[in-house]
Amino acid sequence: MFLKNKNIIFLFLAQLISYCGDSIFNIALPWFLLEVTGSKVQTGLIATSAYFPALMLGLFAGVFIDKYDHKKIMLISDFFRFALILMIPISIKFNFFSISFIGFIIFFIACFSTLFHPARDCFVPHIVSGKNLPNVNSLIITSGQIAQILGPIFAGIGLSFFGLIHLFTIDAISFLISMIFILLIVSPEKKIRKKENISSLVGIKEGLLYVKKNSGLLVLLFITFLNNLFIMGPAYMGLVIFVRDILLEDMFVFALLETFMGLGMVLGSFFFPLFMKKIKLVNIFFIGILIDGLTFSILFFIKHYMMAVFVLFLHGIGIPLIILSRTIYIQKSIPDYFRGRVFSMVHMSVMGTTAFSIAITGVLLEFIDADLLFLLIGLFASSTVIIGLNAKGFLCLNDNVN
């Protein structure tokens, strides 16, 4: 059984701890920025600095990941994220804090995240057999969803005992603990290939040509880009405003919504391996997009936080269906030589478009209410399924996945 593999357990625990820190960070940051700046637009613009690195560096990161040891990349990424996040409470303590400094810190944290996540997804097939990939990927992504449940609880406890600022300290420590668990992983060095010393530009060109020739993969990346352009900004920035301005509630309710969305994601991850036995991978992807978008549209009709909790729970179910179907397709059908570049392109599509989505959301929320925004973007996001249904190459994604 794959759970007897200690490497998988260590990777799961590393991700669980660091994701708990991320969950705390994602709750603390927008609330902190809104308190300091008092501006939705400025908060949105500062938050975008967490997403530009993926757009700017994603292609170079992919070549780097394909050339070097994945475990070492993860360790280096965790160390620098620990050090950078710790600079936020230190800067406030010693009075060299500024909004531009926070933007600078967030930008460089994201630079190392741009390396970590694709490296991890490339590393997984080297520590587990192909037949166990659906279960192991579900387990890894579940670590993030459990963290989304525990993170708000820890954030609430931390807020009561240590204050808002030291929520960032807790996040920093989580990366230090993650490093320890990753160090315990025994790297299967004989299985990991050593690539020839190609230049970054040549590696980028190779990766782009590979994607261009693979029509199904090209459509997958385009749908990912477009869907996240609609979804991510409102999910990150709009939900805070929705709680404050529409539901007229406080940070506790925001944390509650995040917790139940995490519960929904756990449920979706749990059922994913079962769905794969009966439903085509591409259809699971479509179902996830429809749930993801339409549940956001339903928020237009919600005026009480308990109903919002239920809707966000349903919304959470769709998220792992999208992520896992996309991840498993890449791990099983993309050659190891290109896998880092492809995962980096996916990460770039998700995180890069999020930068623009958050910035646009911040501006739109100055002119329209958050509930109307959710209605519109939910419908637009769901409509991206139409692109996949009309792309023959995309509908045949399963042909290469055994």
Model pLDDT for residues 108-129, shown as the tens digit of each residue: 888 888 889 888 888 888 887 7
Residue 305 belongs to some domain of the structure: yes
Please report the pLDDT score of residue 58 as a whole number. 78
Please report the pLDDT score of residue 65 as a whole number. 87
The CB-side HSE value for 272 (13 A sphere, CA atoms) comes to 36
End-to-end CA, the chain? 19
Mean pLDDT score across all residues of the chain = 82
How far apart CA 374 and CA 26 sit, in angstroms, is 20
Residue 192 belongs to some domain of the structure: no
Please report the pLDDT score of residue 394 as a whole number. 65
Q: Is the pLDDT of residue 92 over 50?
A: yes
Q: Is the pLDDT of residue 2 over 60?
A: no
More confident residue, 352 or 221: 221
- What is the 8-class DSSP label of residue 94? T
Q: How confident is the model at residue 391 (pLDDT cuts 50, 70, 90)?
A: confident
Instruction: Tell me the average pLDDT across 289-308.
Output: 92
Residue 124 belongs to some domain of the structure: yes
Alpha helix (H) ranges present in 38-132?
40-47, 52-67, 70-93, 99-127
Q: How confident is the model at residue 399 (pLDDT cuts 50, 70, 90)?
A: very low
Q: Is the pLDDT of residue 225 over 80?
A: yes
The CB-side HSE value for 192 (13 A sphere, CA atoms) comes to 20
Overall number of domains in the chain: 1
Please report the pLDDT score of residue 192 as a whole number. 45
Residue 25 tokens read as: 């960070």
Residue 205 belongs to some domain of the structure: yes
pTM to 2 decimal places: 0.75
Residue 190 belongs to some domain of the structure: no
Most confident of 6-10, 51-55, 127-131, 334-338: 6-10
Q: Is the pLDDT of residue 138 over 50?
A: yes
Residue 119 belongs to some domain of the structure: yes
Which CATH number fits the domain that encloses residue 50? Answer: 1.20.1250.20
Please report the pLDDT score of residue 398 as a whole number. 55
Q: Is the pLDDT of residue 34 over 90?
A: no
How far apart CA 168 and CA 382 sit, in angstroms, is 35
Please report the pLDDT score of residue 130 as a whole number. 66
H and E: helices and strands count for the chain:
18, 0
Q: Is the pLDDT of residue 82 over 90?
A: yes
Contact 37, 43 (CB under 8 A): yes
Q: Is the pLDDT of residue 21 over 80?
A: yes
How far apart CA 190 and CA 126 sit, in angstroms, is 10
Contact residues for 207 (Cβ-Cβ < 8 A; gap 6+) = 59, 62, 63, 338, 341, 342, 345
Instruction: Tell me the average pLDDT across 210-216.
Output: 84
Residues in the chain: 402
Q: How far is CA 246 from CA 30, 156, 249, 261, 304, in A?
A: 17, 22, 8, 19, 9
Give the H/E segment covering residue 288: helix 281-298
Please report the pLDDT score of residue 83 as a whole number. 93
Q: Is the pLDDT of residue 246 over 80?
A: yes
Residue 93 belongs to some domain of the structure: yes
Contact residues for 229 (Cβ-Cβ < 8 A; gap 6+) = 353, 356, 357
Instruction: Tell me the average pLDDT across 336-349.
Output: 83
More confident residue, 55 or 240: 240
Contact 10, 183 (CB under 8 A): no
Residue 3 belongs to some domain of the structure: no
Q: Provide the residue range defining the domain that includes 267.
A: 8-184+199-400
Which range among 14-18, 22-26, 258-262, 353-357 shows the weakest confidence by mean pLDDT? Answer: 353-357
Contact 21, 82 (CB under 8 A): no
Q: Of 142, 124, 154, which Cα lies nearest the Cα of 8?
A: 124
Return the amino acid letter for 311.
Answer: V
Q: How confident is the model at residue 73 (pLDDT cuts 50, 70, 90)?
A: very high
